[in-house]
Structure 1
Amino acid sequence: MSRNLQTNEFSNPEENNALFLKRLFIYQKERFPLLGHGLLVAAFSFSAISYSRICRGAEGFVDEKIFGVGIFTTISLFFLVRIFDEFKDAEDDARYRKELAVPRGLISLAELRNIGIVLVVLQVTLNLLFVPRMLVIYGLILTYLLLMGKEFFVSAWLKNHQFWYVTTHMFIIPLIDVYASGLDWLLAGATPPVGLAFFFAVSYMNGIVLEIGRKIRVPQKETEGVDTYTSMLGINGAVLLWLLFLVVTLALSMLASVSAGYGDEVFFVLSGLFVICVLPAVLFLRSRTEPLSKMIEYASALWTIGMYLTLGAGPMISKLLI
């Protein structure tokens, strides 16, 4: 693969000159940890399929081949989102975030472009061979991803309107959710359950919770050229905004659980998870330390994983084990 070499004060010649596979391993470890992200997206996909089947009253789970193709497609789609972000943010990264993989020359944009092409070819091939009906939804996702890469052709405006930037880009998450759930209802030729609308809304809000949570920082950790919610809204404003979206997501998850016919135990689990995740934010408002700001980021991840496990994966596993 061709490389457009660039170096800066953060470059490591030994890493930059290593074989491609070693550099790719370092890249994924830093920018898209396959183990952590893979488990999260696998839970995301399993839960979407499970929730759809539970709402439809379908017995068992989808075929393992279908699930395997779905897992590969969803994980690689999120990896494509990361690659598109590298291109989209290249100029700002080169100026303000020189320690990242691309600016310091670990991997080039040309190499990432080629990886992206290979992934798309594999996605199309596997879907065409095993789940051809999914190609329509897949095509919609890829089209939206391409529009995101071009910032919907209003790049300057979006950069000056952070709210619209985040809300438009987060639609990629429920779109991938539509694909994952479609591995059930679409392939079964069934009408999508009404409850999926709440499940998709939960996915969308989870994305915003994660986005805000990872951009809450103490003043000494703010960086020039990096937009954070604390730099834009102040600590109180950023934390209260995060809490607001957490509350909205909780309400939507309750509606999703009602639509699936879940009992009171799910309400207790969701409420307990909410209390646990809120605690770091309350503590951070009282004691503004870096460890507590990181705890909000971890709480965002816990909230997201817990939400998917509670709404889809947990109930499905219980049914399969009975």
Structure 2
Amino acid sequence: MSFSTFWIYQKERFPLAKTGPLLAVFSAASICVSAELSGRPLPSIGAFVAGFLIAMMLFFQMRVCDEYKDLEDDLRFRPNRPIPRGLISLKTIVWLGVASMPITVLAAWLWHPPVLWLLSLVWFWLAVMTGEFGMPAWLKARPILYLLSHMAIMPLIDLLLTSLEWMPNGKAALGLVLFLALSFVNGCVLEIGRKLWTPAREIVGVDTYSGLWGPAKAVLIWAACVGASFALLLGVGALTGVFWISFVLGGSGAALCLISAVTYAKSPTEKAEKRMDTLAGLWVFSCYAIAGFAPILMRVF
């Protein structure tokens, strides 16, 4: 596989320019929130490097599993994707995913070996998720349950990332439950947000939430997820002493999401579709940035 081939693949299926900053903030914020909730100083830079590497490898592995799981549908309904159109083979992508696993293990082991137990838990859930829990037809016929079961991996990953801080110190703060819940809901925000399409772009055989529920209902559910995420952000902010900062900054972002949701519901154009996808990512990015870094900045300034 040439570098140019991989570059095209990542641009289409795992865009590093978009994914890298989001995962950097996600992993760093997880460690910071764990320390803040426990009243402990931040760990050394090694924890943050390990967290970023683990997050990047895990999310790439999730992409690899999606490529494997969705290949039949891609061949039938999305032949323009990199693997169906012959840009790169599934075998190559799977081997890249396998090669990323020792890197994940090494990053965790070099920082604190016991966190490998939580890494094993994440991989177990990813494996059964890839196999659709042994009942693919039954699960796909129940899209809400499908969404919830797949998004459960988000708090598991976050539990692993926060453990880089709390496990070497003995125990996690009770309030961490709110932050894990935030990760679960934010996973739903991202997943639904990227599948709010314009009616003209819906593809037969490709499941989208706009196609399932209709644009208006789908974006209403998305907005409800943003609202739940905002409430959890406020809860985390209250525990870390930045409630009002979370309220002002998070509220501004939530208001922008609501305005865009109304615009999409009224006129689900291609421009509105792209805006919803972008806003979903920006909202999640902002949530972690506020939760993780606002308490630290408050102390500094």
TM interval, short-chain normalised:
over 0.9
Count of paired positions: 301
What one-letter code is carried by the residue in structure 2 that aligns with 1:145?
Answer: L
| Aligned 8 A contact 1:87 1:109 in 2 | yes
The aligned residue for residue 18 of structure 2 is 36
Query: Aligned residue for 1:20?
Result: 2
Q: Deviations over 1:190-230 (max 9, x none)?
A: x2112211111111111101111111122111111111111
Q: Deviations over 1:50-94 (max 9, x none)?
A: 1111111112x2211222122111111000000000000000000
Distance in 2 (alpha carbons) for counterparts of 1:143 and 1:67: 24
Percentage identity across paired residues of the two chains: 35
RMSD, aligned α-carbons: 1.4
Deviations 1:254-303 (A, max 9, x none): 11212223242221111111111211111222333221122111111111
Show CA shifts across 1:83-132 (max 9, x none): 00000000000000000011011111111121111111222233223321
Alignment of 1:1-322 (within 5 A): 19-59=1-41, 61-189=42-170, 191-319=171-299, 321-322=300-301
Q: 1:171 Cα deviation (Å)?
A: 1.0
Cα deviations by residue, 1:150-174 (Å, 9 ceiling, x for unpaired): 1111111111111111110111111
- The answer (yes or no) to whether the contact 1:218–1:288 under 8 Å persists in 2 is yes
Cα distance in structure 2, aligned partners of 1:114 and 1:224: 31
- Mean CA deviation greater in 286-295 or 180-189: 286-295
Between the aligned partners of 2:187 and 2:39, the Cα distance in structure 1 is 28
Q: TM-score, normalised by structure 2?
A: 0.96
1:134 shift after superposition: 1.1
Residues 1-49 of structure 1 deviation map (CA, whole Å, 9 limit, x = unaligned): xxxxxxxxxxxxxxxxxx4332122111110012210110110011111
Counterpart of 1:265, as a letter, is I
Aligned to 1:15: none
Residues 288 and 150 (structure 1 numbering): CA distance in 2 closer, same or farther, change over 3 Å? closer
Whether the aligned pair in 1 keeps the contact of 2:216 and 2:266 (CA below 8 Å) is no
Instruction: After TM superposition, give the deviation of residue 313 of structure 1 in Å.
Output: 2.4
Whether the 8 Å CA contact 2:108–2:116 is kept in 1: the answer is yes
Q: What is the rounded CA distance, in whole Å, between the counterparts of 2:243 and 2:127 in structure 1?
A: 41
Deviation (angstroms), 1:318: 4.4
Distance change in 2, residues 1:194/1:218 (3 Å): same
Larger radius of gyration: 1
Contact 1:209 1:300 in 2 (8 A): yes
- The structure with the largest helix share of the pair is 2
Gaps of 5+ in 2: none
Residues 216 and 229 in structure 1, CA contact (< 8 A), matched pair in contact too: yes
